[in-house]
């Protein structure tokens, strides 16, 4: 997976567009990542519904979890100029003076999936969080340059010196992207399968679920693979920090018998246990 974090936008313009899209001011507090998911198919086809859905789900999960603070993406712009001796000088902090425009980093992520062995969202979310923990944000400064513009005014030509500034990312100086550690989560997706007798359509003989108390006609699948991943429509996806807190819980009703509180409680308990074990391995 590749994470690009070297794109900078005018913060005021970017905020207006994003707030209008979301219909709120959530982006004033939380930072976002814009992921693109590509599933290998052996052909250069446009993104399919599954890839688009995964990208939207990853975007919403990172944004609503508050994993990235908006302040962390703000750019502290310095100024690169030339002193009297012709040497490069970089000024930062209060010495730069007031800069009217404010800038912020925009994070883009590209995830390439080469094989499907389980719920793709869980794997993509873990890869995205790992990449964010390794992300470096370059130092940014305004590069002052002077250009000469020839004007034609009156009967004589005149040369006018024009000062302009370029926004430059330092290729060697950078800082780590700091995440809110208490918001780092592990994603777990569970499936609910209904057990029916093949003869009369009733509840089968298998009336107990391994490891928990649930309805006698349903079982909880902790690892969806193969046909189960494609066929089971009833799902619970939870993002847990392993400390008893959840930043997101998604329940897909699907087909079959309704969910019960025991089903949801058991799934959340497993998600918390799994997160407690896996987050330390990031």
Residues 146 and 202 in one domain: no
Statement to judge: residues 53 and 170 lie in one domain: yes
Q: What is the 3-state secondary structure (H, E, C) of 122-164?
A: HHHHHHHHHHHHCCEEEEEEEEEEEEEEEEEECCEEEEEEEEE
Q: Which of 45-54, 152-161, 211-220 has the lowest mean pLDDT?
A: 152-161
Residue 232 lies in domain: 185-281
Co-location of 87 and 217 in the same domain: no
Q: Looking at 143, 164, 181, which one is the last position of a domain?
A: 181
Claim to verify: residue 232 and residue 135 sit in the same structural domain: no
Residues 196 and 90 placed together within one structural domain of the fold: no
Total structural domains in the chain? 2
Q: What is the pLDDT of residues 176-223, one digit of tens each?
A: 999 999 999 999 999 888 776 555 444 444 444 444 444 447 888 888
Domain holding 165: CATH number?
3.30.230.70
Model's pTM, two decimal places? 0.74
Joined tokens for residue 275? 């997160």
Helices 49-65 and 120-133 cross at an angle (nearest 10°) of 50
State the maximum Cα–Cα separation within the chain, in Å, rounded to a whole number.
102
Mean pLDDT of the chain: 76
Using the predicted structure, report yes or no on whether residue 131 has a pLDDT greater than 70: yes
Tell me what pLDDT residue 176 has. Answer: 94
pLDDT at 25: 65
């Amino acid at each position: 997976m590749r994470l690009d974090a070297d794109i900078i936008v005018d913060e005021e313009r970017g905020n207006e567009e994003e707030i209008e899209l979301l219909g709120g001011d959530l982006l004033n507090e939380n930072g976002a990542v814009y992921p693109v998911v590509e599933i290998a198919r052996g052909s250069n086809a446009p993104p399919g519904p599954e890839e688009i859905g995964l990208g939207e789900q990853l975007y919403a999960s990172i944004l609503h979890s508050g994993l990235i603070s908006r302040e962390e993406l703000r750019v502290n712009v310095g100024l690169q100029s030339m002193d009297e001796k012709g040497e490069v000088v970089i000024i930062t902090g209060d010495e730069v003076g007031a800069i009217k425009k404010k800038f912020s980093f925009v994070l883009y992520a590209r995830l390439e999936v080469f094989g499907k062995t389980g719920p793709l969202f869980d794997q993509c979310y873990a890869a995205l969080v790992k990449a964010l923990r390794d992300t470096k944000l370059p130092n940014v400064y305004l590069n002052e340059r002077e250009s000469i513009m020839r004007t034609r005014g009156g009967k004589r030509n005149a040369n006018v010196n024009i000062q302009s500034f370029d926004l430059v990312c330092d290729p060697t100086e950078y800082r780590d992207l700091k995440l809110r550690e208490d918001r780092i989560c592990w994603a777990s997706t569970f499936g609910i399968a209904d057990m029916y007798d093949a003869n009369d359509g009733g509840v089968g003989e298998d009336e107990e679920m391994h490891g928990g108390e649930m309805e006698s006609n349903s079982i909880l699948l902790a690892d969806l693979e193969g046909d189960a991943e494609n066929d089971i429509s009833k799902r619970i996806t939870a993002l847990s920090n392993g400390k008893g807190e959840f930043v997101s819980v998604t329940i897909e009703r699907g087909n079959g018998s309704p969910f019960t509180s025991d089903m949801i409680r058991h799934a959340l308990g497993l998600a918390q246990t799994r997160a407690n074990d896996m987050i330390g391995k990031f």
